Amino acid sequence: MPAVKRLEAFLFRLDPGASVRMAFGGFSERKAVVLRLEDAEGAVGWGEVWCNFPRYGAENKLRLIETLVGPALLAGADASPAAAFHRLSAALHPMALQTGEIGPVAACIAGIDLALWDLAARRAGKPLADFLFGADAPASVPAYASGLNPDGAPERVAALREAGFSAFKLKVGFGADVDRPNVAAIAAALRAGERFMIDANQSWTLDQARVAVDAFNPASLAWIEEPLAVDRPTSEWAEVAALSAAPLAGGENLYGFAAFDRAIRLGHLRFIQPDVCKWGGITGNFAVARRALAEGRTYCPHWLAGGLGLLASAHVLAAVGGPGMLEYDSNPNPFRALLGSPLPDLIDGALPLPDGPGLGVEPDMAALASSLVERVELTAA
């Protein structure tokens, strides 16, 4: 592929006035780091970098792109997006380890990888899903309503059902007095064919997880996500998986092919959930997803940020196939449509994939202008 000649990185910030609550913390203000790459022949690709946490993680990642990851990209020539991913991952690994910035560096590389794949698919004139699949991929992917806060959760599920969703994921880990009434009320109101999942965001100890999964076993949950911290011993994950009537899900906090390979092989996770802009980009997520399906697991992309990452997740899911669902942030999230324009409307809880080449969407830079905090530009020598 032609060498990348220009990299632009944009930091956007806005406050939709609605907070998202996880067991470990939350946010109200939303930030986005967007990448625009241009190759020697003028072709363009767009990427997004995961930066929901911590509060100033977006600023850190913009600086890492400006001073470390961007220069490394522009210093080399790569035969393909995958080759660029592997070159950058290898070249920056010592620095990522030395600085302890393993996650931020991985997210910056993931964002670049996404932009390179978008660029390559645009050059080929094909939607990214078809470009990955090698033929016509499915035209839409089923989505589930995610990010349901504990406050007023049963009423929120009812509203989302009216909006067309038939699968819902509730945040738990706020204590039995909060979690149990929510789970019981939502489970009791489910209609035939609907699915209900919970996400503990790594908040339980083994003792707490034992009690929680036992309490939730009657709820017929479709999955329990991250009941334990991702780095707890295999024996603990095995015990919780055995105690839980619902299958377990996780992957948003795993880094690297080896970590996913191990998680898939061990089998405690039925649902494998890498985040396309947090680790791996299209290169890593497509490979992990195919491996997951080959081993009888289900690929369900993790995503709770802007429209570029959402469409990237949808394209990978369509290309990989299987019974997985697209994670769709049910909170007010202006970056979904602002970064992924024109954003397709959900139809009966499924996201139609755009017909256009690449991701089929791009940032609405005019509409984003008032949210721009900083822009960085790098050019190849």
* Contact call for residues 140 and 345 (beta carbons, < 8 A): no
Residues 299-318 that bind Mg ion (CB under 5 A): none
The count of other CB atoms within 10 Å of the CB of residue 256 is 16
Choices 64-72, 219-227, 238-246, 315-323 (CB under 5 A): range interacting with Mg ion? 219-227
Residue number of the CB closest to Mg ion reads 199
Which of 23/351 has CB closer to Mg ion? Answer: 23
Q: Which pair of structure tokens corresponds to residue 141?
A: 């992917």
Taking the complex as a whole, the smallest distance from the CB of residue 309 to Mg ion amounts, in Å, to 14
Contact flag: residue 275 with Mg ion (CB under 5 A): no
Nearer to Mg ion, 22 or 351 (CB): 22
Question: What is the Cβ-side half-sphere exposure of residue 212, based on CA atoms within 13 angstroms?
Answer: 30
Nearest to 274 by CA among 265, 266, 259: 259
Which tokens in the block code for residue 92? 């920056």
Minimum distance of Mg ion from residue 225's CB (angstroms)? 5
Q: How far apart are CA 245 and CA 89, in angstroms?
A: 38
Window of 45-53, 126-134, 198-206, 366-374 that interacts with Mg ion by CB under 5 A: 198-206
Q: Is 305 or 338 the residue whose CB approaches Mg ion more closely?
A: 305
Can you tell me which of 179, 199, 275, 362 binds Mg ion, judged by CB under 5 A?
199
From residue 225 to residue 254, the character string flagging contacts with Mg ion as x (rule: CB under 5 A) and all else as - is x-----------------------------
Which residue's CB is nearer to Mg ion, number 225 or number 362? 225
* Residue position matching structure tokens 């209900």: 196
Question: Is the Cβ of residue 52 or residue 89 nearer to Mg ion in the bound state?
Answer: 52
Query: By C-beta, is 96 or 148 nearer to Mg ion?
Result: 148
Peptide bond into 54 cis (omega under 30): yes
Strand-pairing partners, residue 25, are: 22
Structure tokens belonging to residue 129? 């899903």
- Pick the piece of the chain touching Mg ion (CB under 5 A) from 177-185, 204-212, 223-231, 290-298: 223-231
As measured in angstroms, the least distance from the Cβ of 186 to Mg ion is: 17
Q: Output the smallest distance, CB 298 to Mg ion, in A.
A: 15
**Residue pair 92/104 in contact by the 8 Å Cβ criterion:** no
Answer positive or negative: Cα dihedral of 274, 280, 283, 288: negative
Stretch that binds Mg ion, among 96-104, 191-199, 239-247, 253-261 (CB under 5 A): 191-199
Number of Cβ within a 10 Å radius of residue 224: 28
Please identify, using beta-carbon distances, which residue of 251 and 340 lies nearer to Mg ion. Answer: 251
How many other C-beta atoms can be found within 10 angstroms of the C-beta atom of residue 65?
A: 29
Number of residues assigned to the chain: 381
Residues that bind Mg ion (CB under 5 A): 199, 225
